[in-house]
Structure 1
Amino acid sequence: MKLGMPRFDQARVLVLGDIMLDRYWQGDASRISPEAPVPVVRVEQINDRPGGAGNVALNIAALGCGSTLLGYTGDDEMADALQATLTGAGVECSFERVPESPTITKLRVISRHQQLIRLDFEEQSMAVNAPNLMPALEKHLGSCGALILSDYAKGTLADPQPLIAAAKAAGVPVLVDPKGADFDRYRGATLLTPNLSEFEAIVGHCENEQVLVERGKALMHSLDLKALLVTRGEHGMTLLRPDADELHLPARAREVFDVTGAGDTVIAVLAASLAGGAAMADAVALANLAASIVVAKLGTAAISAPELRRAVQAEQGTERGAMSREQLAIAIADARSHGEKVVFTNGCFDIIHAGHVTYLEQARKLGDRLVVAVNDDDSVRRLKGDGRPVNPIDRRVAVLAGLEAVDWVVSFDEDTPRSLLETLHPDILVKGGDYGDKRDVVGWEIVESYGGQVQVLSLVENVSTTSILNRMQNNGDS
């Protein structure tokens, strides 16, 4: 499966669900209270973090995707703190504030990395006494590419059917992170993302993958779902669809430090990817990759688009270094989709010297990515004669790939890079040497035909492969 980055910057996701504030009081506890046998914590630091649906919205914004959060809060200082944090992170907040009810808050008192107590502030009656969310939902549906129902069993999604129906009528996919033992409430959703424990609480223990798939398909049919994604911890994920074979994706994390918030990351990447134009299977693969990054971090953490992009490039072998033409085409397409300018140069690079290094550093400064195309051994021999190259293609490629200025190296067997230029369409073609005019550069007309640029850079004087070989030969003769 070849992964690519969706256009997160052109997508928007609406998150509707239980909004919470995670508040942390941290300080030193060096004595016991004289009033009771409990530690006395001298609070030195207070941290507020969005929890529940707020954390999902935060994950979406971190990807560079438009993020709107809809749900109930109190009309209090906690709601103000939540809105300030989320707005500062790029989340559009559409809170329905409920007077006389506190914003759901989880207060944790921590000393020396140890949680001493958690205090919960919430009223189960908030959603019952709150205004209907349907008008606000319909207001935002037209501008979003996906809807997430983030259920933490706090009452906001006690009856999600009208919400699902409205989204379906608007042609917006509905992704649900379910809670509880009644999945029938989510009937008609596009995708459910239960973890294995939540799934087995509904369908019973699954002793093997065959049973899991059979029961999952039966659940999809009974609930009229388009897809079901079961997250299975160290066993990865299983995607089920009525019209396709099951897709088992292995867990990718090498080290797991903390799984807190991993479910929020999964559904956030899924929704953002679908809203950005990705197919379901590709969206799940990206979510699986994102989860492997998040669980390697401590605490609730969001993954950024650059982090995910680097992981995708590493997965495809397109992050840096030597690659095939096919890999290079993928890398350049991804770079271009993110507004990066690609610089291209070519040559034999038989003996890498100071002149080459200076030239490549200058070329790299002209854009964001530098591609170096290298003649293979046969084409060097045709161009330079017998005895060349001195270094075979694998060694030349390895040295070039190790230079800081070089992003990608590709070899070619033709005498000129014309076919590469016709395929890759770099933004700038660079050559170094004694070219009197850019029209002397092979392939200049190809590059300029699609609006690219051609530039000629001067080489370091008195430094060339030929002069180095001549000096070596003269020293040998003497």
Structure 2
Amino acid sequence: MRLTMPQFDSSHVLIIGDVMLDRYWHGSSNRVSPEAPVPIVNVSLEEERPGGAGNVALNIAALGGRVSLVGVVGDDPAAALLKSRLDAAGIFSDLQVSKYKPTITKLRVMSRHQQLLRMDFEEVFGVEDSDSFEDKIAPVLPHADILVLSDYAKGTLQDCQALIKRAKTAGIPVLVDPKGGDFERYQGASLLTPNIAELEAVVGRCESEQDIVRKGLQLIAKLNIDALLVTRGEMGMTLLRAHQAAIHLPARAREVYDVTGAGDTVIAVLAAVLATGQALPDAVALANLAAGIVVGKLGAATVSAPELRRAIHSEHGFERGIVSEDQLIQAIEASRANGERIVFTNGCFDIIHAGHVGYLDEARKQGDRLIVALNSDASVRRLKGQGRPINPVDRRMAVLAGLESVDWVVSFDDDTPERLLRRIKPDVLVKGGDYRADQIVGGTIVKANGGNVKVLRFFENCSTTSIVNRIRQQ
């Protein structure tokens, strides 16, 4: 599957949900207070951004999409500030004003790119605070391509069923970012985007990939919804639809600075892409790319159209990165359906050096997709002895996943990759070294399945052991 940049300016998304004002106080922190064991922050910068449903709207606007926002605010300066920020971003907002409750505000104190404290100023809104929503939605809904319900359990979405039924009657898909343990209120929606914790709060503990798929499909049937997208942090995303194979997307391998607002970015990109007419799997893949970008930023950030375009251009396939075995099998099946040849190699890869990079580049040229299977920490200790590995498996996987030549990285706990090879059945097994092809562990398994075994050139004077020994001698 080849991803393309949508024409976001052709889309119009209507968002209804809990709007907030996010405040950030930034400053240096070099002392501990003499009054209590807390850091003293010398505030040098104050920042205000729309949060909650407002952040969803900001994400769509940053991509160039048209967006309308309906929510509830208080009769206070925070509401005026929030409205000015939305106007500046080109977002049409029609906000119901509560006479008795304040605008929901979250204040975060930041120092050295870390959040030290968050203070929430809020009271949950009631039915009386959203009683005129019908009047606000009526003129906007007929011109919208997608309706998003952004639920933060702050009381704005009192009657989700009425909104969902009204949109469906108009032929408009409804995407929901849910909250709480009662998903019945979202019955009949087109798509729900819970994170894994929110899903488990409703369906119970999911111990495996199969559990997520089975319980997710049961929830789809129970709620009469079209699809379920489960966001799973470092394990990526899982898209479930009735009578269709699950799609697992690995998380993008990059350093995570802040996950604040990542869920807002996911549903925003989903809505904006679907509003342009692209298919759901494409929208999910683009949302996954965008989430990988936004977690590398500080605070509730957005992804711009140029950033997303660059990510698309650098993306060589639909699924790449760190995967579990089950996710890898799903990805391989999709690749083989496209006629792609699967290359497999394995090793400890404890300290990545020039020899590794050159070898993996050569390995990638043997087919269309390269899998690197990595010995777990326990496996490395059994093979190399105490004191190894130098780097734990999560760091080794992250480095390998960042190499352009590598498509998927998976770990295994066995001493050899034979069990994994029997399950994966690669087209090509490669190793680097000065031995014959018939000496490669697992070679007979690959050949028995119709695959080939190749020995790649040996890179002189490059080995982790020699590097470690030289460091110890120093």
TM-score (norm 1): 0.62
**1:127, distance to aligned residue in structure 2 (A):** 4.9
Percent of paired sites with the same residue: 61
- Does residue 194 of structure 1 match 2:189? no
Does residue 1:143 correspond to 2:143, yes or no? yes
Distance 1:127 1:32 in 2: 45
- Work out which of the two has the higher radius of gyration on C-alpha atoms and give 1 or 2: 1
Counterpart for residue 205 of structure 1: 205
- Say if 2:191 is the partner of 1:226: no
For residues 44-63 of structure 1, the C-alpha deviation after alignment (integer angstroms, 9 at most, x for no partner) is 32211111100000000011
Q: Give the drift of 1:173.
A: 0.6
SS of residue matched to 2:155: coil
**Residue matched to 2:96:** 96
- How many Å apart are 1:277 and its aligned residue? 0.8
| 2:290 counterpart residue number | 290
Provide the C-alpha distance between the structure 1 equivalents of 2:306 and 2:114, rounded to a whole number of angstroms: 32
Verify the 8 A CA contact 2:125 2:156 in the aligned structure 1.
Answer: no
**2: distance between equivalents of 1:116 and 1:105?**
17
In structure 2, how many angstroms separate the alpha carbons of the residues matched to 1:280 and 1:301? 24
Quick check: 2:126–2:158 contact (8 Å CA) kept in 1? no
State the distance in 2 between where 1:113 and 1:26 align.
9
1:34-113 to 2 correspondence within 5 Å?
43-111=43-111, 113=113
What SS is found at the alignment partner of 2:140?
helix
Q: Could you list the per-position Cα deviations for residues 164-199 of structure 1 after superposition, in whole angstroms to 9, with x for gaps in the alignment? A: 111111111100000100011100000000011111
For residue 303 of structure 2, what is the aligned residue in structure 1?
A: 303
**Using the alignment, how far apart are the partners of 1:229 and 1:114 within structure 2?**
29
Is the CA contact 2:175–2:189 (under 8 Å) kept in the aligned structure 1?
Answer: yes
Aligned residue for 1:315, secondary structure, equals coil
Structure 1: where are the runs of 5+ without partners?
A: 318-478
Question: Where in structure 2 are the equivalents of 1:370-449 lying within 5 Å?
Answer: none
1:234-245 equivalence runs, <5 A: 234-245=234-245
Q: Deviations over 1:184-222 (max 9, x none)?
A: 110000000001111111111112112211111110000
SS in structure 1 at match of 2:310: helix
1:124/1:250 Cα in 2 relative to 1: closer, same or farther (>3 Å)?
same
Q: Does 1:15 align with 2:49?
A: no
- Residue correspondence of structure 1 range 163-178 to structure 2 within 5 A: 163-178=163-178
8 Å CA contact 1:76, 1:102 repeated in 2: yes
Q: Measure how far apart 1:272 and its partner are.
A: 0.3
Q: Deviations over 1:274-316 (max 9, x none)?
A: 0011111111111111112222223322111121112112224
The Cα of 1:99 is off from its aligned counterpart by 2.1
CA 1:25–1:126 in structure 2 vs 1: closer, same or farther (change >3 Å)?
farther
Counterpart CA distance in 1 for 2:149 and 2:31 is 45
**CA separation of 1:224/1:121 partners in 2, compared to 1, >3 Å: closer, same or farther?**
same
> Which string of whole-angstrom CA distances, capped at 9 and with x for unpartnered residues, describes residues 332-359 of structure 1?
xxxxxxxxxxxxxxxxxxxxxxxxxxxx
* Partner in structure 2 of residue 369 of structure 1: none
- In structure 2, the gaps of 5 or more residues are 318-474
**In structure 1, how many angstroms separate the alpha carbons of the residues matched to 2:167 and 2:288?**
26
Which amino acid in structure 2 is aligned with residue 203 of structure 1? V
Q: Summarize deviations over 1:150-172 as a string: whole Å, max 9, x none.
A: 01110112321101111111111
Amino acid at match of 2:270: L
Check 1:3–1:124 CA distance in 2 against 1; reply closer, same or farther (3 A cut): same
Aligned mates of 1:125, 1:12 — CA distance in 2: 27
2:266–2:290 contact (8 Å) kept in structure 1: yes
Using a 3 Å threshold, how does the CA distance of structure 1 residues 42 and 309 change in structure 2: closer, same or farther? Answer: closer
Taking only aligned residues, the RMSD between alpha carbons, in angstroms, comes to: 2.2
Following superposition, the deviation at residue 114 of structure 1 comes to: 5.2
3-state SS of paired residue (2:55): helix
Provide closer, same or farther for how the CA distance between residues 186 and 29 of structure 1 changes in structure 2, counting only shifts above 3 A.
same
Q: Distance in 1 between matches of 2:238 and 2:32?
A: 50
Relative to structure 1, the CA distance from residue 238 to residue 35 in structure 2 (aligned partners, 3 Å threshold; closer, same or farther) is closer
Alignment partners' CA distance in 2, 1:252 and 1:33: 40
CA distance in 1, matches of 2:140, 2:282: 26
Query: 1:284 and 1:113 mapped to 2: Cα distance?
Result: 29
| TM, length-normalised to structure 2 | 0.63
Shift of 1:242: 1.4
Asked if the contact 2:235/2:251 (under 8 Å) is kept, the reply is yes
2:96–2:132: 8 Å Cα contact kept in structure 1?
Answer: no
- SS of the residue aligned with 1:238? strand
What are the equivalent positions in structure 2 for 1:223-372 lying under 5 Å apart?
223-316=223-316
Deviation at 1:32, TM superposition (A): 7.5
**One-letter identity of the residue aligned with 2:155:** G
Contact kept in structure 2, 1:69 and 1:91, CA below 8 Å: yes
Q: Is the 8 A contact 2:129 2:156 kept in 1?
A: no
After the TM superposition, which residues 148-167 of structure 1 pair with which residues of structure 2 at under 5 Å, given as runs?
148-167=148-167
Q: Tell me, what secondary structure is at the counterpart of 1:244? A: coil
Bigger mean CA deviation after superposition, 239-248 or 142-151: 239-248
Q: For 1:370-394, what per-residue CA distance to the aligned partner results, in whole angstroms no more than 9, with x for missing partners?
A: xxxxxxxxxxxxxxxxxxxxxxxxx
AA of the residue aligned to 1:20: M
Q: 2:183 & 2:20 partners in 1: Cα distance?
A: 23
The residue type paired with residue 97 of structure 2 is R
Structure 2 distance, partners of 1:141, 1:285, is 27
